Amino acid sequence: MALPETAFPLHAVEASPGIDVARAEAAVAELLVALGRDLGDEHLADTPRRVVDGLRELLEPEDFAFTTFPNPGAYDELVLVRDIPFTSLCRHHLLPFRGVAHVGYLPGARIAGLSKLARVVDRHARDLQVQEELTVRIADDLDRNLEARGVGVVIHAEHLCMSVRGIRADGATTVTSAFRGEIAADPALRARFRTD
């Protein structure tokens, strides 16, 4: 017998006015000229389009329905999905930061489709932001919509704005975390995001 599922729309990622592709391509072309590059170079001829296409992939989240299912066995232990890969863009330098997110929750009356936890990470990663903001947005979205007893998010990421320029600390990672509900109140549960 199939269990009924429920889908809820995720909290909307902050609305953007949309990407004006023609204007963005013209801006990239102008930037290349300002950087002393010759747009007549065969290798640069299509670069403005390719740059804008790449930025669109990094900035336009995909919609999906977050499905949940009844928790008939009353499972009440931590559900933790580790090492969810993501790429986002630093709003200060427009350079990528990428890494992995560990996302978990303590189920209440419902459980989540596991792939949906990875989709939440992907959806919120597609924006201009700082890592701290991304961490909080994922945790708040799950806390608001999953009706779990607790939610936790830990993100490990390398920032190209720090590893390929400036200090050039290649390989340095930044760790951020956000915990809600019973997970926030329990040091042993929080530790499992770091040591399990």
HEC profile for the chain?
CCCCCEEEECCCCCCCCCCCHHHHHHHHHHHHHHCCCCCCCCCCCCHHHHHHHHHHHHHCCCCCEEEEEECCCCCCCCEEEEEEEEEEEECCCCCEEEEEEEEEEECCCEEECHHHHHHHHHHHHCCEECHHHHHHHHHHHHHHHHCCCEEEEEEEEEEHHHHCCCCCCCCCCEEEEEEEHHHHHCHHHHHHHHHC
Residue 156 in domain: yes
Residue 103 in domain: yes
Residue 1 in domain: no
Residue 72 is predicted with a pLDDT of 87
What is the average pLDDT score of the chain? 91
What does the alpha-carbon distance between residue 37 and residue 141 come to, in Å, rounded to a whole number? 43
CA 106 to chain centre: 21
* 108 and 27 within one domain: no
Residue 194 is predicted with a pLDDT of 86
- pLDDT-derived band at 5, boundaries 50, 70, 90: low
* 95 and 152 within one domain: yes
Percent above pLDDT 70 for the chain: 90
What does the alpha-carbon distance between residue 71 and residue 46 come to, in Å, rounded to a whole number? 52
Residue 196 is predicted with a pLDDT of 53
Residue 80 in domain: yes
At 111-151, the pLDDT tens digits run: 999 999 999 999 999 999 999 999 999 999 999 989 999 99
* 115 and 50 within one domain: no
**Amino acid letter for position 17:** P
Report the domain count for the chain: 2
- pLDDT-derived band at 18, boundaries 50, 70, 90: confident
- Please, what is the Cα angle at 145 between 126 and 9, to 5 degrees? 60
* 40 and 112 within one domain: no
At 68-119, the pLDDT tens digits run: 999 989 999 999 999 999 999 999 999 999 999 999 999 999 999 999 999 9
Residue 34 in domain: yes
φ and ψ at residue 100, rounded to 5 degrees: -135, 150
Per the structure, the complete domain to which residue 94 belongs is given by 6-14+60-195
Tell me which of 166 and 153 has the higher pLDDT: 153
What does the alpha-carbon distance between residue 160 and residue 95 come to, in Å, rounded to a whole number? 6
Whether residue 95 contacts residue 58, with contact meaning beta carbons closer than 8 Å, is answered with no
* 100 and 177 within one domain: yes
* 177 and 91 within one domain: yes
| pLDDT value at 161 more than 80 | yes
* 73 and 154 within one domain: yes
